[in-house]
């Protein structure tokens, strides 16, 4: 394994790129869950975002429309979830699972005509800086705009939840919808908004995969990343910053284990393949040991159906 500094920089850059879909989807889901809604449809919303982004790119030849459109389609599909769970009061878990199954099937159907079409080059920013500065260049420069957005998002989310009034309202709704409702907060409206926001972020995460990371459409191309994002939210104990850390560890070990295989280290390959999952859980459990903080962050009404008596 070569150990020069620039190579390590490139490696870190690659790790950052691979964790973007996890950060986006998990940050979106985090807001949804903080409002007390458990949406297990992350994978389904991501895959819908992936196909809509790619299809729009092919049809309109415009990456801006593709990205916006993918967020919009994630939002639309999460609206279905919202209608079912918030207006028709169906079970969150069952509805979320159905959403994932629906998303995978639906994307495959839409995607029929888009298989095998090469993607378009997505513009990367500051490419010249990436090459001219050793080590730090490949870490900080030469990424897509979505990556920069994704890395800012957990901090924005943290600020939003802790310091703004809207954030407080969301947390109140998640902790005790009845009290919030008695305070005059429209619980259903707040939850709808959080569901739609989560859907849009998952759509964007999907589009990152089909437009930037592996620019093409293939059935099931999210490959379970939605489920990992869901698990990240829980293991990060609903803290946006820990979501970011978790996503980086997961992405980092995934890539490092491939490098270890390529180098030919004599470690069982199955162990290496399992390493990202094991390490992410261990690290997040260790950094989230403070049970008082966990209690503070956990939305108490998560997954419970709220029904306002008239």
Site residues (vs other proteins, CB under 8 A): 1-2, 7, 10-11, 14, 18, 101-102, 105, 108-109, 111-112, 115-116, 118, 209, 213-216, 218-221, 223, 225, 254-255, 258-259, 261-264, 266, 268-270, 273
Rounded to an integer, what distance in angstroms lies between the CA atom of residue 180 and that of residue 42? Answer: 27
CB count, 10 Å around CB of 269?
Answer: 11
Nearer to other proteins, 184 or 264 (CB): 264
The smaller minimum CB distance to other proteins, of residues 101 and 125, is found at 101
**Least CB distance to other proteins at residue 265 (A):** 9
Contact 89, 178 (CB under 8 A): no
Tokens of 176: 């005790």
Q: Which residue, chain included where needed, has tokens 């949804």?
A: 32
Which CB, 15 or 56, lies closer to other proteins? Answer: 15
In the complex, what is the shortest distance from the CB of residue 169 to other proteins, in angstroms, rounded to a whole number? 36
* Nearest CB to other proteins, comparing residues 232 and 302: 232
Q: How far apart are CA 168 and CA 148, in angstroms?
A: 26
Of 54 and 197, nearer to other proteins (C-beta) is: 54
Residue 1 CB, shortest distance to other proteins, in Å, is 7
Q: How far is the CB of 219 from other proteins (least distance, A)?
A: 5
Q: How far is the CB of 239 from other proteins (least distance, A)?
A: 26
| Cα–Cα dist 150/92, whole Å | 27
Query: By C-alpha distance, which of 183, 221, 167 is closest to 30?
Result: 167
The candidate with the shortest Cα–Cα distance to 50, out of 28, 21, 26, 78, is 21
Cα(194)–Cα(31) distance, integer angstroms: 6
CB of 225 to other proteins, least distance (A): 7
State the nearest-atom distance from the C-beta of 198 to other proteins, in Å. 21
Nearer to other proteins, 101 or 189 (CB): 101
H runs (alpha helix) in the chain: 5-34, 42-60, 63-82, 92-111, 127-132, 136-140, 145-163, 165-175, 177-182, 187-207, 225-235, 240-263, 269-287, 291-297
> How far apart are CB 184 and other proteins at their closest, in Å?
41
CA distance 90 to 243: 28
Nearer to other proteins, 10 or 129 (CB): 10
Q: How far apart are CA 41 and CA 189, in angstroms?
A: 20
Give the residue with the Cβ less far from other proteins, 10 or 185.
Answer: 10
């Amino acid at each position: 394994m070569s150990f020069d500094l620039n190579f390590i920089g490139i490696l870190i850059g690659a790790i950052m790129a691979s964790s973007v879909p996890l950060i986006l989807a998990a940050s979106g889901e985090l807001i949804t869950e903080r409002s007390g809604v458990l949406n297990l449809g992350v994978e389904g919303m991501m895959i819908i975002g992936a196909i809509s982004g790619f299809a729009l790119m092919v049809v309109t030849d415009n990456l801006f429309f593709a990205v916006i459109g993918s967020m919009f389609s994630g939002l639309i599909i999460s609206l279905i979830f919202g209608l079912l769970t918030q207006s028709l009061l169906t079970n969150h878990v069952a509805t979320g699972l159905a959403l994932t199954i629906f998303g995978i099937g639906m994307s495959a159907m839409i995607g029929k005509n888009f298989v095998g079409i090469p993607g378009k080059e997505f513009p990367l920013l500051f490419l010249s800086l990436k090459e001219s500065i050793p080590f730090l260049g490949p870490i900080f420069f030469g990424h897509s705009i979505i990556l920069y957005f994704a890395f800012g998002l957990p901090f924005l989310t943290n600020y939003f939840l802790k310091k703004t009034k809207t954030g407080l309202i969301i947390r109140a709704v998640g902790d005790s919808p009845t009290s919030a409702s008695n305070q005059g907060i429209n619980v259903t409206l707040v939850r709808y908004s959080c569901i739609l926001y989560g859907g849009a972020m998952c759509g964007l995460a999907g589009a990152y995969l089909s437009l930037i990371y592996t620019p093409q459409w293939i059935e099931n191309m999210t490959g379970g990343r939605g489920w990992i994002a869901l698990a990240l939210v829980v293991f990060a104990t609903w803290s946006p910053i820990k979501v970011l850390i978790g996503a980086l560890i997961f992405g980092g070990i995934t890539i490092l284990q491939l490098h270890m295989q390529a180098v030919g280290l004599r470690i069982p390959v199955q162990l290496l393949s399992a390493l990202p999952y094991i390490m992410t859980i261990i690290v997040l459990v260790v950094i989230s040991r403070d049970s008082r903080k966990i209690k503070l962050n956990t939305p108490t009404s998560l997954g419970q159906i709220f029904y306002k008596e008239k």
